[in-house]
Amino acid sequence: MTPEEFGISRRARSIKDTDYCFHDVFRTESQLIAQGYDREQVKKLPSYTLAHTIEEQARDTVNESTLRQGDDGLNTSSRLIRITEHYVRMDYEGNDEAALYRCTTAGEEGELLLRDSEADVVREDVIPFAAMTPVIVTHRFFGRSIADLVMDIQRIKTALLRALLDNAYLANNPRTEVPESHATETTLDDLLVSRPGGIVRTKMPGGLSVIEHPDIGNHVFPLLQYQDATREWRTGVSRQGQGVDPNALQNQVATIANQMFNAGQAKVKMIARIFAETGIRDLFSLLHMTIRKNGSQAQTVRLRNQWVTVDPRDWKARADMTINVGLGTGSKSEQLAHLQLIIGAQKEAIAAGLVSAKNLFHSAKELVKLAGHKNVDAFFTPPGAPADPNDPASAPIGPPADPKHAEIAARAQTDQAKITADAAHQKMKLDAQLAFEREKFALEKELKLLDLQIARERHQHDMARDAAKTMMDAAEHVEDARKRAGATAPAPLVS
């Protein structure tokens, strides 16, 4: 979006913590109706015709704003309407708890739009914007741009160049001193007309003297160079880095030139790091949230050179997810130097068996990419790839092979394949037999254990039965003894 389409609270320090921000968008009448907004209300909304901000007016170099009035009368469905999306934290439900809501208004008066006969006030989880600035200002949302860093330099250079031009004008048209005693009625008129070879009429010859002006060029040009150097220090964009100043590289070795280039690029790399750690990080977080929230079907994507099916509906909330930004791999020259060191180490490690053909092909592929070529197969052949029959370079060198030798080789290959198949069949048969024996042994072991358990339980049952019978016999014996004792006892005496 353009800068003038976004606004934020003056007290805000970040988008995440702000209480209010807005986003201006421009939609046609037909688009708003298709999105479900009230048809009668949209028909009455005013058209957006003129630029209303300084930035938009400065950007309008071809009178775009004056040409927007043509759709109001003939084709009203294509007329543009200014829509403002407000993101504000407020107590909309009246429960003393502030929440984030999106309110949509239209026109310069800010009329609240209706969707499905209700006000378009929707509760949101986060504010869907990501912002970044090249130069961060502590505890402020708006930072400084590259233009802010060099704007004063541009004004100073403009003033110096204007003074130099004024000095050149005075040198070409100097002021002339004329004594009154030597002047006539036409002397001033002649001096006011500046032309090469012009004549100035005086009473006596030699009465004119030219007022000399000092030349400031020797002082202005060093100042201009100093301002250019200051600009390079602030922005990191140097003449050496752009390769447009060959005089600056005279009498310098490659190491010093490389150090100067790296020093100039440090500022640019820092700005890139700030962009990555602020706006780009927030942007990817918002993309992940949007896909997880609105994903309705599985998608197939290429991940690590493999096609993987990803279903956003299965993703969790991932509240503790972190986004890591890569540290970078250096410049292309540094990458080439590192890759050449790796290839040299691989050549020495081939004898020890630590490097395979696949490893060498991977290094060659990266080398071709760094060289700026995309088709790796045009320079290196992958290991194990079949030879191209249409390529003369891949054809065998020497006389053609004897057909009989080819037939013998084919027969030998067939016999070898048969022997291999028989050996595999015998191995499979032996494995099956061993598996059967193992299963049989396991079953027999289980049967033995089951028989032993049944015998143990039968023995315990018999012992319990014998114990119960013994107790019953003992009870009967006691009962018989008691009865016998009662029959032999003397009769009681009766008085």
Q: Write out pLDDT tens, residues 216-254.
A: 888 888 888 888 888 887 887 776 555 544 554 454 555
Cβ atoms of 144 and 135 within 8 Å: the answer is yes
Q: Reduced to 3 DSSP states, what percent helix, strand and coil does the chain have, rounded to the nearest 5? A: 55, 10, 35
Q: Are residues 256 and 336 in the same domain?
A: no
Domain residues for the domain of 354 are 332-387
Q: Are residues 16 and 108 in the same domain?
A: yes
pLDDT at 244: 45
pLDDT at 107: 85
Asked, for residue 9, whether it belongs to a domain, the answer is: yes
Q: Are residues 284 and 344 in the same domain?
A: no
Q: Could you read off the pLDDT of 17-36 as tens digits, one per residue?
A: 899 999 998 899 999 999 89
202 Cβ partners below 8 Å, 6+ apart? 178, 182, 183, 184, 187, 208
Mean per-residue pLDDT, 144-150:
88
Mean per-residue pLDDT, 274-300:
84
- Residue 40 CB burial class (10 angstroms; 0-12, 13-18, ≥19): exposed
Nearest-angstrom CA–CA distance, 21 and 130 = 12
| Core vs surface per residue 76-103: b (16+ CB within 10 A) or e | eeebbbbbbebbbeeeeeeeeeeebbbb
Asked, for residue 70, whether it belongs to a domain, the answer is: yes
* CA 118 from centroid of its chain's CA atoms: 38
Q: Could you read off the pLDDT of 184-223 as tens digits, one per residue?
A: 888 888 888 877 777 888 888 877 788 777 888 888 888 8
Asked, for residue 466, whether it belongs to a domain, the answer is: no
Main-chain dihedrals φ then ψ at residue 402, nearest 5 degrees:
-70, 130
Instruction: List, in sequence order, every beta strand (DSSP E) within 153-229.
Output: 176-177, 209-210
What is the token pair recorded at 236?
């990191």
* Percent of the chain residues past pLDDT 70, beyond the cut: 83
Mean per-residue pLDDT, 108-129:
89
**Is 80 exceeded by the pLDDT of residue 407?**
no
* CA 112 from centroid of its chain's CA atoms: 36
* The last residue of a domain, from among 308, 328, 348: 328
* The last residue of a domain, from among 360, 387, 414: 387
Q: Are residues 366 and 378 in the same domain?
A: yes
User: HSE of 122 in the Cβ direction (CA atoms, 13 Å)?
Assistant: 13
What does R_g of the chain's alpha carbons equal in angstroms? 49
Q: Are residues 301 and 246 in the same domain?
A: yes
pLDDT at 258: 57
For the chain, the domain total comes to 3
Residue 132: which of 286, 20, 285, 271 has the closest Cα?
A: 271
> What global pTM score does this model have?
0.55
Q: Are residues 53 and 15 in the same domain?
A: yes
Nearest-angstrom CA–CA distance, 238 and 303 = 39
Nearest-angstrom CA–CA distance, 478 and 415 = 94
Nearest-angstrom CA–CA distance, 185 and 202 = 9
More confident residue, 393 or 137: 137
Q: Are residues 258 and 358 in the same domain?
A: no
Q: Could you read off the pLDDT of 413-468 as tens digits, one per residue?
A: 888 888 888 888 888 888 888 888 888 888 888 888 888 889 888 888 989 888 88
382 torsion bin: left (phi>0), alpha (psi -120 to 50), beta (else):
beta
How many residues are there in the chain?
495
Asked, for residue 44, whether it belongs to a domain, the answer is: yes
Residue 228: which of 214, 242, 215, 211 has the closest Cα?
A: 242
**Is 70 exceeded by the pLDDT of residue 362?**
yes
Q: Are residues 18 and 87 in the same domain?
A: yes
Number of CB atoms found within 10 A of residue 258's CB? 15
Asked, for residue 221, whether it belongs to a domain, the answer is: no
Asked, for residue 138, whether it belongs to a domain, the answer is: no
Please provide the average confidence, as pLDDT, over all residues in the chain: 81
Q: Are residues 295 and 366 in the same domain?
A: no
* The last residue of a domain, from among 74, 105, 123: 123
Q: Are residues 12 and 112 in the same domain?
A: yes
Q: Are residues 11 and 91 in the same domain?
A: yes
Cβ atoms of 21 and 7 within 8 Å: the answer is yes
The helix-helix angle for 146-172 and 217-235 (nearest 10°) equals: 170
Asked, for residue 207, whether it belongs to a domain, the answer is: no
pLDDT at 8: 92
Q: Are residues 316 and 337 in the same domain?
A: no
Q: Could you read off the pLDDT of 62-95 as tens digits, one per residue?
A: 776 655 544 556 778 888 888 999 999 999 888 8
pLDDT at 493: 53
**HEC profile of 229-273:** HHHHHHHCCCHHHHCCCHHHHCCCCHHHHHHHHHHHHHHHHHHHH
**Bridge partners for 309 per DSSP:** 300
Nearest-angstrom CA–CA distance, 84 and 107 = 8
Q: Could you read off the pLDDT of 257-277 as tens digits, one per residue?
A: 555 556 666 777 888 888 888
Asked, for residue 31, whether it belongs to a domain, the answer is: yes
pLDDT at 328: 64
Nearest-angstrom CA–CA distance, 338 and 399 = 44
More confident residue, 102 or 319: 102
